[in-house]
Amino acid sequence: MKFSGRTVTAIIEFPANKVLLVRRATVAFKGFWALPGGGVDAGETDEAAVIREVREETGLIVEVVKKIGEYHETGVQDGIEYDYYPACFIVKPVGGKTARQEQEIEEIKLFDIEKLPERLAFEHSRMLRDYVDVRLHRV
């Protein structure tokens, strides 16, 4: 199986250095903690896609704060070959309430940015490291 193409991810900022992660229920990244996000629909901007994906997966309404990077992720995890291009955004919640998308998400949880789970989807660990370094003024 191959997972490829353009995707978006969101680091949802909360007070006290907390970040929201979702544990995936679908084949790609099943059981791994990941940033909310997904594919970009035809004719959709990255910003519109990340807002839509966050709402679909978590129930939260968010605003984009800024884009923190473009990544190219390749590798193999659990027999799935990955070759895709996620754009990562920092977003802030402005409404809605947390409600997981039952078909795709097993669990939603807030984590302290200094105590992230070990079982992260491989590509999201790099995005989160970049974010944590900036947030904690390590760079």
Residue positions annotated with a catalytic role: 107
d(CA 73, CA 75): 7
The secondary structure of the chain in percent helix, strand, coil, rounded to multiples of 5, reads: 20, 50, 30
- Token pair, residue 83, equals 């070759």
Could you tell me where the beta strands, DSSP code E, fall in 1-139?
2-14, 18-24, 33-34, 37-39, 60-70, 73-77, 80-96, 105-112
Q: Of 78, 71, 5, which is closest to residue 35 (Cα–Cα)?
A: 71
**Hey, what's the torsion of the CAs at 15, 118, 67, 19, to 10 degrees?**
-10
